[in-house]
A = this chain, B = another copy of it.
Amino acid sequence: MRKNPTIRDVAAKAGVSIATVSKFINGAQRFTPNVERNIQAAIDELGYQSNPLARSMITGKTGSVGVAILDICNPHFTNIVKGANRVALEQGYNLLFVDTEESQGREDELLDALSRRVDGMVVSTRMPEDQLHRILAYGKPVVFSGRPGPRGVPSIGIDAYAAAYMIAEMLVKQGHRNIAYLGFAPARPDKERMRGLTDCLDAYDIPLTRHEVRGPTMAEGERVCSSVLLRKSKPDAVICYNDMVAIGFMGVAKSLGVSIPGDLSVVGIDNIPFSRYTSPALTTVDTQSERLGEEGMRLLFRHIAGDLPADVEHMTLEPRLVIRESTQLRVTLPTAPEGKPRRAKPTSAAALASRQLTYRRI
């Protein structure tokens, strides 16, 4: 097992200098047909391929980009990676990835190590404010996905407020009057969602009870289910933190003899591929995971190239309601609040979405 050939070997074999070989390989200069032929022959014969590390050292470019996600077992993130990978590939870049869930507390180490091996990265992971600044301090281009970054750092995400608002509004119009939210406070969009939910429900004077889930997983949906259903005032609709939680929740709800959507409506968030295949098929809101990855990468490449207009702070993708079988029109109960909504009809989701940041729709 001998060493791999270097540019020096090629040069020797072709009878030229290494500078010439380098220029030829990179197409930086034309040479005499004779010389070019010799070099090509030497390369073929030796099976030479240039060492990307050595090249990186001098050019300062690695040819790789990174993506940091929370949990590779969650189809939402998996789709982000898929999208990101596609555009990285079409730009001729390699994709490195980091799964931060696996390494409790060492997220920053991981991201740090990652940032030194790539030309830029898409970060889609939750992280305390200070760690976040350490990452940025290193100076590699970063775009945040799923969360607005600090000022000046481009980011992309779906409009969590609008998504929540949509769900609440649909549920209300379907006649639900007692709604529960299975929230996950550590997650980034949780607060925005709560706002969307309460903004909408308050307008109708409909109560919202919040339950806490300890992770965005099917297991947590299962765990929390009975305590949600055992409350004396049973909810008639449950909004789950995401589809995974919803799937777990529905599993035990059914086994507890609760009919969905007959007795209880359930809605998820994300529209992961499997949500079409649960029974009943899950009503959810599509968070465009794959596009999130794609557009995040596009943003990153523009960032790397340096042609990001200064006014692009945050890009927002519109959520889209996907109504399937787990929600149902419900006859308004006699105990429903008297008369009409107290306030005027809430502003449209589109109008609502343009708060807080320089949004740019795509």
Q: Let me know if A85 and B57 touch, CB within 8 A.
A: no
Task: Count residues on chain A whose CB falls below 8 Å from chain B CBs.
Answer: 51
Within 8 A of B (CB), among A64-117: 64, 72-73, 75, 78-79, 81-82, 85-86, 89, 94-99, 102-103, 110, 112-114, 116-117
* A265 at the binding interface (Cβ < 8 Å): no
Chain B neighbourhood of A354, CB < 8 A: none
* A146 at the binding interface (Cβ < 8 Å): no
Give complex CA distance A57, B54 in Å.
Answer: 7
Contact of A56 among B53, B110, B113 (CB under 8 A): B53
Q: Let me know if A218 and B277 touch, CB within 8 A.
A: yes
* A152 at the binding interface (Cβ < 8 Å): no
Chain B neighbourhood of A273, CB < 8 A: 73, 218
Decide: A73 near B62, CB < 8 A? Known: A52-B117, A94-B113: no
Q: Which stretch in A16-24, A153-161, A247-255 binds the other chain?
A: A247-255
Chain B neighbourhood of A96, CB < 8 A: 64, 94-97
Contact of A47 among B62, B64, B102, B137 (CB under 8 A): B137
* A331 at the binding interface (Cβ < 8 Å): no
* A131 at the binding interface (Cβ < 8 Å): no
In the complex, residue of chain B having the shortest beta-carbon distance to the beta carbon of A134 = B47
* A262 at the binding interface (Cβ < 8 Å): no
Chain B CB within 10 Å, residue with most, of A75, A89, A94, A95: A94
* A226 at the binding interface (Cβ < 8 Å): no
Contact of A114 among B86, B94, B98, B251 (CB under 8 A): B94
Cross-chain pairs A/B with CB under 8 angstroms, 17 sampled: A1-B139, A4-B138, A47-B137, A64-B117, A72-B72, A72-B82, A73-B75, A73-B82, A78-B78, A85-B102, A95-B97, A218-B276, A247-B277, A251-B276, A251-B277, A277-B278, A278-B279
